[in-house]
Amino acid sequence: METILRIDLSAEGGPRAVRHPLGKYAGLAGRALTTAIIANEVPPDCEALGPANKLVIAPGLMSGTAASNCGRLSVGCKNPWTGLLEEANPGGRAAQYLGRLGVAAVVLEGAPPGGALYAVTIGEDGVGVAGADDLRGVTNHTLCRWVGERRSGAACLCIGPVGEMRLAGATIASTDRELRPVHHVSRGGVGAVMGRKGVKCVVIDPGEAETRPPAEPEAFREASALFLQGLAVYAATGRADSPHAAGPGGAGHACAQECGAVSCATFSAGNGRLAARHETAWSHSAECGISDPDALAELDHLEADFGLDPVETGRALGLAMRAGVIDFGDAEGAARLVREAGEGTHLGRILASGPSTMAACFGLEPPSPHPAWPRSDQALREDADGREAAERLRSSNDGSHLLSPKSREQVSRNLRIASAAMDSTGFCRFVVLAILEQGRTFEAMVDTINAMHGLRLTPDDLVELGRNILETEHNFNQRVRSPAPDVRPRGPLAGAFCRPSGAEPERREETGHA
Amino acid sequence: METILRIDLSAEGGPRAVRHPLGKYAGLAGRALTTAIIANEVPPDCEALGPANKLVIAPGLMSGTAASNCGRLSVGCKNPWTGLLEEANPGGRAAQYLGRLGVAAVVLEGAPPGGALYAVTIGEDGVGVAGADDLRGVTNHTLCRWVGERRSGAACLCIGPVGEMRLAGATIASTDRELRPVHHVSRGGVGAVMGRKGVKCVVIDPGEAETRPPAEPEAFREASALFLQGLAVYAATGRADSPHAAGPGGAGHACAQECGAVSCATFSAGNGRLAARHETAWSHSAECGISDPDALAELDHLEADFGLDPVETGRALGLAMRAGVIDFGDAEGAARLVREAGEGTHLGRILASGPSTMAACFGLEPPSPHPAWPRSDQALREDADGREAAERLRSSNDGSHLLSPKSREQVSRNLRIASAAMDSTGFCRFVVLAILEQGRTFEAMVDTINAMHGLRLTPDDLVELGRNILETEHNFNQRVRSPAPDVRPRGPLAGAFCRPSGAEPERREETGHA
């Protein structure tokens, strides 16, 4: 992972791709790198959908290695939903392939004039940026089939029509081993930012590029065997009958290289399509009262195809039901609305802009922000798979700390710190649960990292890394928020109210009356 | 102004109206009163469109008196646009009539179950709250004609269909002497809050109630004559040919009792309708390229009829043009979209939810907040009438202070303080310009207030009042914003990362790398 690949979409004469050495970003990867680049290079007050924003795509520290469960990608930008720096973290093959190709980050900068659309290809043979006007409006499944016909061994990061429309519910799809767009960078409207950059897809073709060799091969083999063993015996990361092709739900994908966190928690559908992703299943059932697996699979397929965040879309559909646009539980109506989002009708645009826009347009109280699983202990506790993990957390402590709000806040904070660190390694967040309870597995994970890179990191270093990432994000976001105005009278008009010149009045601290 | 009239729309068995003495709010009026009631009684973190919000309607300290230019009303709530406490300030007859009836504030509280709709009537004969399901969907002009047929001497505060839909661009209309809905409480979506309260209209019928008698009649006569004289000779508040029925544009309404700040700046239209209001004229010409007076008058009429903020609607229409929904300058297309807002089509709902929603639904960079004239020196300087005032400001000082951003910030801050104070008196903000340059007029204004109420206020007290109002608003709004999270690891999971128990790590202050 020697280089940062910067693609300037504003460059005169068309997009320009340049490789840079890591420079001051040396040692960073994944979320630590996306966060650092944005914090250093994006003006906090810029428009998320303006040319000054950057979309940073970075594999983890362990991506492209032979270690287990390290296929997570980090995608960050100032997001259009909240205007804040937020990072999202999908599975798929892209991280592994970028790692093998030695690309520490792809940075999409600027924005093309006149709404031009491009396809980026990254391979052993170099980087290409080609006009992609013929791909305009193409849905994710069709696009990925098209990619597969040309580069069957590649991974693809792409946007559907919703991303091209630059709507806040737009995702970036990330393909699995079969080049299917089943993983998604979903939160915060990252797909809208990619759409604004005029990039329809980033195709990553590793060609013959091999898994990256460890600095200390013997130590790596030992540590990663121990690590894998720890994952295999843990319920959320292993599977009794086949510990080396694991996944909590057992959907048939190897957690080891694929990151099964998305596809693993599916359940069977009878229509031959992939079953609904975990997020679609819970958001569309809880928010919309849709429980038929085939209906959920159909909605999931449509949303993945158009590039629409399943969590926020489920919530927006629920609001549409509350507003009376469709009936509660109406799966066909929900599918019709999702199709409208893909087509860009006015109602579809409202839906694809997310729950707050849906609430605004139908005069409803806006819903409170909803954490995507597993971003907090709340979600963790409510989630089907997470329930077991929470039970274990409960039993592994004194059993009462999860009951008090204060303790839950602490659990949430520490999970966030741990997650920020794990998002930098490329290891899946499920691993957090395994290492939380199995001290030896944690040590084995750190040893695996050290052996891979010839480092001498301690567990404390990872905590420090996680905290630094959160602090960097927090500092950036503080700068996004406007400073408090000073309301003391002074200057040319103060005298108009007969205040003696130079006599600054005291500030009064009371708040109610005058 | 002895009582606060509270109407609880959540009360069991239907709305309940109760008069309360001013109590701890004694001495407050207008914006000072609306701000104090909201800051004291509305939870900052409540939903603007939830039942815990309150809509406070308060005439100024001088409303209902014989003083000149004191017909402004203050309307405040936690607004749905930003979630912040914001106050808006219309003209019309309502403030004068509430003042004559001794009502210091009308407070709409709670929200009716099941979307019921009510009409409130306040008169010498008491307060009535009647079901108004037959008024559902009725536009403002039709509604006000209906009111006029029943109570010809009344004033009416009402919402159009956009307010009933609870959309963020919804206004509360305030009628003129002929019971026409030409004044509007426009900013922040106050009409949506009134819609959420289920109140279609508040009819204020003064009956035989007389102008309020001054505490010191002789002093009042003298001071108000001097005050009126000062206004008459000042360009923005007087008129050469008829100083006692003044208004900057001279549209035929007496500024003295009516507050002409809205209708005065109209210009002639050939179609027999009221010409476009000042705000409609500048927002629709600057943002949309529409300059034909008849077209502007038609748009103005439609927006007033549906209860739609002309400033934000002009900006949202401009964005619709930028998105290609209609062509730039297409007045007929603009009118069609505004009609869709009244009808509640999906596109109409997007328009009526304001420019940020329009931008979100069409993937455009959101426009920066646009100050309504005369809320800042920026707007003041750009405004046709304000240009003259700004020139005077310039010439009355050293001529350079308006050129530096720092000084413009000071001008803006002090204008805000002055405006907050004036919004509490009921005097029009135009008066700010007159008293700014004419020290004797300022003194005469303060003398008029003192003679009316038997007070001994100084000009300093008014500055203090203005500053306290801004500080109260600011403190409320700070509480709306979420506190910064503490990201230090602690609690149950901290130990999972092998931090020695009790050893709190130092916080690192750097922001970039980890």
In-domain check, residue B412:
no
For position B392, what pLDDT does the model report? 44
Tens of pLDDT along A112-164?
Answer: 988 899 999 999 999 999 999 999 999 999 999 999 999 999 999 999 999 99
For position A248, what pLDDT does the model report? 37
Helical spans, DSSP H, in A80-160: 94-100, 140-150
Tens of pLDDT along B401-415?
Answer: 445 666 677 777 778
Lowest-confidence region among A210-214, B20-24, B431-435: B431-435
Q: Do residues A451 and A220 touch, judged by C-beta distance below 8 A?
A: yes
Dihedral of alpha carbons B292, B297, B302, B303, sign: positive
**B224 Cβ neighbours under 8 A, 6+ residues apart:** B66, B67, B68, B444, B448, B451
For position B399, what pLDDT does the model report? 42
Both A223 and A98 in one domain: the answer is: no
- The single residue listed with the structure tokens 């128990």 is B501
In-domain check, residue B48:
no
Residues in B closer than 8 angstroms to A496, CB to CB, are: 414, 418, 435-436, 442
In-domain check, residue B165:
no
Q: Is the pLDDT of residue B458 over 70?
A: yes
The top-scoring range by mean pLDDT among A23-27, A412-416, B258-262 is A23-27
Both A196 and A225 in one domain: the answer is: no
Which CATH number is A178's domain given? Answer: 3.60.9.10
Mean per-residue pLDDT for A2-24? Answer: 95
Mean per-residue pLDDT for A323-338? Answer: 97
Query: Cis ω on the peptide bond leading into residue A367 (within 30° of 0)?
Result: no
In-domain check, residue B508:
no
> In what helix (H) or strand (E) does residue B350 lie, and over which residues does it extend?
helix B346-352
The C-alpha atoms of residue B76 and residue B54 are separated, in whole angstroms, by 8
The C-alpha atoms of residue B194 and residue B186 are separated, in whole angstroms, by 12
Taking only residues 133 to 172 of chain A, the set having a beta carbon closer than 8 angstroms to any beta carbon of chain B reads 165-168
Tens of pLDDT along A160-203?
Answer: 999 999 999 999 999 999 999 989 998 789 999 999 999 999 99
DSSP output for A258-320? H--TTGGG----TTSSPPPPHHHHHHHHHHH----HHHHHHHHHHHHHHTB-HHHHHHHHHHH
For position B259, what pLDDT does the model report? 46
Residues in A closer than 8 angstroms to B40, CB to CB, are: 512
Q: Do residues B411 and B417 touch, judged by C-beta distance below 8 A?
A: no
Q: Is the pLDDT of residue A255 over 60?
A: no
Tens of pLDDT along B165-206?
Answer: 999 999 999 999 999 998 999 878 999 999 999 999 999 999
Two structure tokens written together for B473: 């608003």
Q: Do residues A497 and B462 touch, judged by C-beta distance below 8 A?
A: yes
DSSP code of residue B264: G
Put simply, the answer to whether B494 touches A397 (Cβ < 8 Å) is no
Q: Do residues B206 and B124 touch, judged by C-beta distance below 8 A?
A: yes
For position A188, what pLDDT does the model report? 84
Tens of pLDDT along A441-453?
Answer: 989 999 999 999 9
pLDDT, averaged across chain A: 82
Long-range contacts of A26-29 (CB under 8 A, 24+ apart): A27/B513, A28/A104, A28/A424, A28/B513, A28/B514, A29/A1, A29/A58, A29/A59, A29/A60, A29/A61, A29/A63, A29/A104, A29/A424, A29/A425, A29/A426
For position B368, what pLDDT does the model report? 67
Q: Is the pLDDT of residue A349 over 70?
A: yes
Both A64 and A120 in one domain: the answer is: yes
B459 to chain A, any CB pair closer than 8 A? The answer is yes
Tens of pLDDT along B460-471?
Answer: 898 899 999 999
For position B274, what pLDDT does the model report? 57
For position B249, what pLDDT does the model report? 34
The C-alpha atoms of residue A413 and residue A471 are separated, in whole angstroms, by 12
For position B404, what pLDDT does the model report? 61
For position B481, what pLDDT does the model report? 72
The C-alpha atoms of residue B85 and residue A346 are separated, in whole angstroms, by 31
The C-alpha atoms of residue B361 and residue A346 are separated, in whole angstroms, by 8
Both A46 and A151 in one domain: the answer is: yes
Residues in B closer than 8 angstroms to A361, CB to CB, are: 167, 346, 349-350, 353, 357
For position A436, what pLDDT does the model report? 76
- A 10 A CB-CB count for A157 gives 29
- A 10 A CB-CB count for A29 gives 26
The C-alpha atoms of residue A188 and residue A186 are separated, in whole angstroms, by 7
Put simply, the answer to whether B468 touches A493 (Cβ < 8 Å) is no
In-domain check, residue B304:
yes
Distances (CA, A) of A157 to A94, A169, B117: 7, 16, 51
pLDDT-derived band at B114 (thresholds 50, 70, 90) equals confident
A45 to chain B, any CB pair closer than 8 A? The answer is no
Mean per-residue pLDDT for A80-99? Answer: 91
- The beta-carbon neighbor of B493 closest among A360, A418, A475 is A418
Two structure tokens written together for A156: 């693809």
The C-alpha atoms of residue A181 and residue A141 are separated, in whole angstroms, by 6
Distances (CA, A) of B317 to B311, B333, B366, B484: 10, 9, 13, 37
Tell me what percent of the residues of chain B surpass a pLDDT of 70.
78
Cα-flanking dihedrals φ and ψ of residue A342, to 5°? -65, -30
For position B1, what pLDDT does the model report? 66
Both A98 and A235 in one domain: the answer is: no
A292 vs A395, residue with greater confidence:
A292
In-domain check, residue B294:
yes
The C-alpha atoms of residue A237 and residue A244 are separated, in whole angstroms, by 10
- A 10 A CB-CB count for B16 gives 15
In-domain check, residue A503:
no
Please tell me the pTM assigned to this model: 0.83
For position B54, what pLDDT does the model report? 98
Nearest chain A alpha carbon to B79: A365
Tens of pLDDT along A256-283?
Answer: 334 443 333 344 444 445 577 778 888 8
Q: Is the pLDDT of residue B243 over 50?
A: no
DSSP output for B102-170? TEEEEEEES--GGG--EEEEEETTEEEEEE-GGGTT--HHHHHHHHHHH-TT-EEEE--HHHHTT-TTB
In-domain check, residue A464:
yes
Residues in A closer than 8 angstroms to B505, CB to CB, are: 460, 463-464, 467
Both A159 and A176 in one domain: the answer is: yes
Which CATH number is B320's domain given? Answer: 1.10.569.10
Q: Which residues pair with A74 in a beta bridge?
A: A58
A345 to chain B, any CB pair closer than 8 A? The answer is yes
Both A303 and A443 in one domain: the answer is: no
Return the SS3 of B45. Answer: coil
Q: What domain range includes position B293?
A: 278-361
Burial class (CB in 10 A: 0-12, 13-18, 19+), A295: buried
The C-alpha atoms of residue A136 and residue A146 are separated, in whole angstroms, by 13
Q: Is the pLDDT of residue B459 over 80?
A: yes
Put simply, the answer to whether A350 touches B365 (Cβ < 8 Å) is no
B346 vs A371, residue with greater confidence:
B346
The C-alpha atoms of residue B377 and residue B392 are separated, in whole angstroms, by 13
How many separate helices (H) and strands (E) can be counted in chain B? 19, 12
A474 to chain B, any CB pair closer than 8 A? The answer is yes
- The beta-carbon neighbor of A361 closest among B24, B353, B514 is B353
Both A13 and A152 in one domain: the answer is: yes
A82 to chain B, any CB pair closer than 8 A? The answer is no
Both A341 and A435 in one domain: the answer is: no
**A156 Cβ neighbours under 8 A, 6+ residues apart:** A94, A143, A144, A147, A173, A174, A175, A179, A181, A201, A202, A203, A204
A49 to chain B, any CB pair closer than 8 A? The answer is yes
Both A171 and A192 in one domain: the answer is: yes
pLDDT-derived band at B370 (thresholds 50, 70, 90) equals low
B279 vs A54, residue with greater confidence:
A54
Two structure tokens written together for B344: 């509640």
Both A282 and A355 in one domain: the answer is: yes
The C-alpha atoms of residue B284 and residue B263 are separated, in whole angstroms, by 16
For position B156, what pLDDT does the model report? 98
Number of structural domains in chain A: 3
Taking only residues 195 to 214 of chain A, the set having a beta carbon closer than 8 angstroms to any beta carbon of chain B reads 195-196
pLDDT, averaged across chain B: 82
